[in-house]
Amino acid sequence: MTISRRPLILGAVAAAGTLAATALPASATGGSHPKPKPTVVLVHGAFADASSWSAVASRLQKAGYTVVAPANPLRGLTTDAAYISAILKTIDGPKVVVGHSYGGAVITQAAAGDASVKALVFVAAFMPDKGEQLGELGARFPGSQLSDALQPLPDGAGGTDLAIQTAKFHAVFTADLPASTSALLGASQRPISAAAFTDAATAAAWRDIPSWAVVAAQDRAIAPDLERFEAKRAGSHTTVVDSSHVVMISHPDLVTKVIKSAATATG
pLDDT in tens, 52-107: 999 999 999 999 999 999 999 999 999 999 999 999 999 999 999 999 999 999 99
pTM above 0.85, yes or no: yes
**Percent of the chain with pLDDT strictly greater than 70:** 87
Lowest mean pLDDT among 10-24, 37-51, 64-78, 186-200: 10-24
d(CA 77, CA 73): 10
Check residues 54 and 19 and name the one with the higher pLDDT.
54
Angstrom distances, CA of residue 263 to CA of 9, 117, 122, 187, 221: 19, 10, 13, 34, 28
pLDDT tops 60 at residue 30: no
- Chain centroid, CA 77 distance in Å: 14
What pLDDT is stored for residue 169 in this prediction? 98
What pLDDT is stored for residue 35 in this prediction? 79
What does R_g of the chain's alpha carbons equal in angstroms?
18
Look at the alpha carbons of 39, 196, 144, 140 in this order and tell me if their dihedral is positive or negative: negative
* Bridge partner list, 42: 98
**How many CB atoms are closer than 10 A to CB 10?**
22
**244-254 pLDDT per residue, tens:** 999 999 999 99
What pLDDT is stored for residue 85 in this prediction? 98
Give the torsion through C-alpha atoms of 98, 223, 50, 117, to 10 deg. Answer: 10
Comparing C-alpha atoms, which of 181, 36, 194, 7 is closest to residue 110? 7
Lowest mean pLDDT among 6-10, 114-118, 169-173, 224-228: 6-10
Q: What angle do CA 157, 159, 160 make, to 5 degrees?
A: 125
**Percent of the chain with pLDDT strictly greater than 90:** 86
What would the mean pLDDT of 128-149 be, rounded to a whole number?
Answer: 97
pLDDT tops 90 at residue 237: yes
What pLDDT is stored for residue 4 in this prediction? 38
Q: Identify the three-state secondary structure at position 184.
A: helix
Q: What are phi and psi of 212, to 5 degrees?
A: -125, 145
Pairing relationship of beta strands 150-154 and 160-164 according to DSSP bridges = antiparallel
What pLDDT is stored for residue 25 in this prediction? 38
What pLDDT is stored for residue 23 in this prediction? 33
| DSSP, res 96 | E
**152-186 pLDDT per residue, tens:** 999 999 999 999 999 999 999 999 999 999 999 99
pLDDT range class, residue 38, cuts 50, 70, 90: very high
What would the mean pLDDT of 124-133 be, rounded to a whole number?
Answer: 98
What would the mean pLDDT of 194-208 be, rounded to a whole number?
Answer: 98
pLDDT range class, residue 20, cuts 50, 70, 90: very low
Pairing relationship of beta strands 95-100 and 117-123 according to DSSP bridges = parallel
Burial 217-238 (b: 16+ CB within 10 A, else e): ebbbbbbbbbbbbbbeebebbb
pLDDT, mean over the chain: 90
